[in-house]
Amino acid sequence: MEFRALHKWIKLSPQKARWVADVVRGLDVQDAIDALKFMPQKAALHISKAVRAALANARQYDGDPKPDVDKLFLKSVAIDGGPMLKRIRPRAYGRAHPRLRRTSHITVVLSERSEEEQARARGRGGKRRKPEPREGKDAQVGAAAEAGAEAPAKPKRPRFLGFKKKEDRYGAPVKSGGEGKGKPAAEHRKAERGTKGRRKKK
């Protein structure tokens, strides 16, 4: 059984509202309300109102069978575009650029989950299968762990850092001109600074 609520004429862009709707779609009702409570987006408030309205419709349903409110989840959260309000924005030289103030219609549909779907949604996945028997080294490690003894330590491999020294890669470091003549590098640069770009005398 499905219960729906429609929230119309919201002054909000449908694109911005769909970002929030994608987060809560498929969640349980209480989980969706809790998630929307702490979301900072403007659309979260309006979607939360629609969810609460659909939940109230389910609680006030007098038909038979009566729905179990704890099993309800958000089957569908649809955001449709409403009519656009035409406005203008003043620009330079007395011009006016058109603006479209968009509106949205939110439709929330709640449905009741079966027990299998409820277990799948919570991550239980029904009955658990027994673990298959281990073989080889894994069996020895598992038996030692079950007996309370420490598992045999694996020998450590030598760590490979993946780089070499600069001397090994490029050979011995090349000395600059000043260092080669026995002068400090700073003094050599000062001497060479004034001769840069000049022609060599023959």
Mean pLDDT of the chain: 78
Structural domains counted in the chain: 1
- DSSP one-letter string for 154-175: PPPPPP------HHHHH-SPPP
- DSSP one-letter string for the chain: -EEEEEEEEESS-HHHHHHHHHHHTTSBHHHHHHHHHT--SHHHHHHHHHHHHHHHHHHT--SSSPP-GGGEEEEEEEEEE-PPEEEEEE-GGG-EEEEEE--EEEEEEEEEPPHHHHHHHTT--SSPPPPPPP-THHHHHHHHHHHTPPPPPPPPPPP------HHHHH-SPPPPHHHHTTS-HHHHHHHHHTTTTPPPP-
Q: What is the mean pLDDT of residues 1-21?
A: 94
The more confident residue out of 180 and 76 is 76
In tens, the pLDDT along 130-179 reads: 556 556 555 565 565 555 555 566 677 666 555 555 555 555 555 555 55
Which of the four pLDDT bands, split at 50, 70 and 90, describes residue 125? very low
**Range of the structural domain that residue 39 is part of:** 2-121
Q: Which of 35, 55, 59, 49 is nearest to 7 (CA)?
A: 49
Give domain status of residue 41, yes or no.
Answer: yes
Q: What is the mean pLDDT of residues 45-74?
A: 91
Q: What pLDDT, on a 0 to 100 scale, did the predictor assign at position 107?
A: 96
Look up the CATH number of the domain holding residue 43.
3.90.470.10
Statement: the pTM of the whole predicted model exceeds 0.85: no
The answer to which of 28-32, 99-103, 176-180 has the lowest mean pLDDT is: 176-180
Share of the chain above pLDDT 90, in %: 50
In tens, the pLDDT along 173-199 reads: 555 555 545 555 555 555 555 555 555
Give domain status of residue 171, yes or no.
Answer: no
Whether omega before 65 lies within 30 degrees of 0, making that bond cis, reads yes
Give domain status of residue 15, yes or no.
Answer: yes
Share of the chain above pLDDT 70, in %: 59
Q: In degrees rounded to 5, what are phi and psi of residue 199?
A: -75, 145
Q: What is the mean pLDDT of residues 40-53?
A: 95
